[in-house]
Structure 1
């Protein structure tokens, strides 16, 4: 018997990795002295002395459970489950920690590469308050090691976690560099902040008109303040230069990122995740080498979506580890967290009056939905407002 004691965070990561492969079958309640009769072989893992919430109305609470070959083989009282412990069994004393079935995240942008290779100006995992100065300093450090003209970008900005209690602006990012285009992307995914160099390269001036489905925001004097929302950000896609990677380097980063994010998921109790697109081949490779610790519903888009439509492959194709799911979020408006979602009345305190962004017409949405639905693919739309 291999006994272990862990902190709460270590416990989550360990049990998540061990139990993520467990089939979500009905929990098996063990009557007194019955655990030994369930399986003549020892369990691979036994967790005991726990507060287990099974989410099964027939047996809502338990003290322990046993796992073998990726399957729950027993759930019940500690005294009964211990009958499945042998010399090779890994055991965990939960010390009265609460255990629930693994959580499912129904939508996550989860390539993991951003966490490993980009500048994080906010904390994607913990509640951490930062300052505008700390953001500028992080980006300036990256700019100093980046060739002039190449993008310097920061990710996971969260205005609700900024001690200064304000948004970034063009002047802040001009302090980072005047030789590099600089962008900081909000964690919500619908707004970004740019410096003067980026605006210049994109040809965005104070007289620029807002495109359909997006805005170039301005200060009280009518000057560009660097904040750009939703579809207006498209003008920055092909300006400036970005780091060039070989196909092998890109593939390696994809694999490393997916393996890394999988560890983070189970560490926080997520055992199933709906992935917003990403490198499907890399995902299969990570699974093949044993580094995929969570189950995946792969939200399809782009070439994968088109291939499914033309090949007659419907939602649900795959297996219990990687399954083709609904479409990636089809965005029809902005974001609640960034105050760009579409409203029927103007946002209070905003001048000129602003009702948020609608990013495509009703006719465009109707045509897309009908085509995808007729192909047997589940629709997934982003509509916050």
Structure 2
């Protein structure tokens, strides 16, 4: 029954509630108070260090993270050209390991590469033609593969585009390796995932320490799959082997639409929470569904129409699941609101519908959310404009740009609000750093120094709540998010006081210790 004293404990109840001491019993917080009332000589002295509730990344892609951690970061500041990408891939631990071993990378954004183009099959074949190579674009929607990867996926000049995806081709008709949007990337991913289940479990377990080092104790898996492996079974095996963060799985609707038996589960460590619906693509990939055309003359990709969204919502209602809707473009977001705002919510403990990203949000949309019968959550990622400012400036009109990542306006709406990473789906070497995300939300500064809609900034305590209390409520992590009696003793100790340092230092905050159920698991 450890007691902690002389701490700066942010309780996560509101923006101003702190304590200096707490007691943990059997994995739970049993007392919160002041150090001057503690007489226990064995109390642990935290010497003024700042303590937060364990952080929650309520929208991320742990399977992708697990793959990325043994892959190559093809992102700034490490990789800034296709030439540097080739060098980095040759330095991969997988390079030269044999014909069955995939070389993997992640995070490229063609607008940030010196060549200002997407790498092709020819570029990757310069690295290897005997080992398959797979690289995710920064948005994790699109990807590129070498000739061996295309061969294993059965992709030739005659392969038809999958619904909602596009296979790139050279002028002579040969596939150029670029797989645009999720449906096309899945062709390569399924070939890649045909490697051993045991290998996937091993990668997941190895990623556990990565989350704990970032202070993340609970996650929302936003790409639950039934094929080639059921995500729930993968996580079950990973948890048994030592994967520690609490996990809520959201299955891609297309893969469960015919599953009559899918139901939410309630285990604290691992549970099925909802379904995921893709409305569109990404802004940096010019595939988010927008009302105003991009410079290329197109308005993006509309993946899900109104009828199909209705079907998904009906499915979620019948199965008592939450709906997480990927919607980045303003046309996509408006369609979500048009279809759902007058419907009755079916969940009492959480918002029935989460709008993920909500990247371009107008005042009219916010008004519709405030007047809606439906209950909404807005889960957004300011780390996107931090890392992708150039793409947003290039692809959006000035009027659209003024509406991106409106954190202050979202927080003022009636929707529940949370920050998250969507990692590894952004071109930054630390795509799921909570503190880079908090820095972007508070300062509204991009990595290149650009100031992005500063009126939409939020305070540091609000940003911390958006990683603790608020995502716990949105994601159904009932025993997390606050430090008060009866809650899980999941907390982190920081290397500095995040509430008093200059804002420029926020992105440099690090976690010294992470505790789960009253036990130190990192630090």
TM-score (norm 2): 0.51
- Unpaired runs of 5+ residues, structure 1, are 1-42
Distance in 1 (alpha carbons) for counterparts of 2:325 and 2:279:
7
Classify the secondary structure of the residue corresponding to 1:106.
strand
Q: Which has the larger radius of gyration?
A: 1
Classify the secondary structure of the residue corresponding to 2:248.
strand
**Residue 119 of structure 1: aligned partner:** 71
* Match status 1:323 vs 2:271: yes
Instruction: Give the alignment partner of residue 106 of structure 1, picking from 38, 58, 71.
Output: 58
Over 3 Å counting, the alpha-carbon distance change for 1:189 and 1:286 in structure 2 is closer
TM-aligned CA deviation for residue 254 of structure 1: 4.0
Distance in 2 (alpha carbons) for counterparts of 1:109 and 1:281:
16
**Residue 383 of structure 1: aligned partner:** 327
Instruction: Give the alignment partner of residue 215 of structure 1, picking from 154, 166, 190.
Output: 166
Is residue 274–residue 316 contact of structure 2 (8 Å, CA) maintained in 1? no
The one of the two structures with greater contact order (alpha-carbon pairs below 8 A, sep at least 6) is: 2
Classify the secondary structure of the residue corresponding to 2:274.
strand
Distance in 2 (alpha carbons) for counterparts of 1:242 and 1:273:
22
Is residue 72–residue 105 contact of structure 2 (8 Å, CA) maintained in 1? yes
The 5 A counterparts of 1:191-210 are 191-195=142-146, 202-204=155-157
Instruction: Give the alignment partner of residue 346 of structure 1, picking from 283, 293, 302.
Output: 293
**Residue 137 of structure 1: aligned partner:** 87
Instruction: Give the alignment partner of residue 8 of structure 2, picking from 51, 57, 63.
Output: 51
TM-aligned CA deviation for residue 307 of structure 1: 9.2
TM-aligned CA deviation for residue 203 of structure 1: 1.9
Distance in 2 (alpha carbons) for counterparts of 1:347 and 1:373:
36
Note the alpha carbon deviations across 1:322-353, whole angstroms, 9 max, x for none: 232111x22221123433211122212x2xx2
The 5 A counterparts of 1:1-385 are 43-46=1-4, 48-57=5-14, 60-81=17-38, 83-86=39-42, 91=44, 93=46, 95-111=47-63, 113-115=66-68, 118-122=70-74, 128-131=77-80, 132-140=82-90, 142=94, 144-147=96-99, 152-159=102-109, 164=114, 166-170=116-120, 171-195=122-146, 202-204=155-157, 212-216=163-167, 226-230=177-181, 231-233=183-185, 236=188, 244-245=195-196, 250-251=197-198, 253-276=199-222, 277=224, 279-288=231-240, 291-300=242-251, 305=256, 309-310=260-261, 313=263, 315=264, 317-327=265-275, 329-348=276-295, 350=296, 353-385=297-329
TM-aligned CA deviation for residue 192 of structure 1: 0.9
Distance in 2 (alpha carbons) for counterparts of 1:376 and 1:218:
43
Query: How many equivalent pairs are there?
Result: 315
Note the alpha carbon deviations across 1:43-99, whole angstroms, 9 max, x for none: 3252x3332221325970222323221111232333334x3453xx6x252x43332
Classify the secondary structure of the residue corresponding to 1:155.
strand
Distance in 2 (alpha carbons) for counterparts of 1:199 and 1:322:
35
Distance in 2 (alpha carbons) for counterparts of 1:259 and 1:151:
19
- Unpaired runs of 5+ residues, structure 2, are 225-229, 330-523
Over 3 Å counting, the alpha-carbon distance change for 1:169 and 1:344 in structure 2 is same
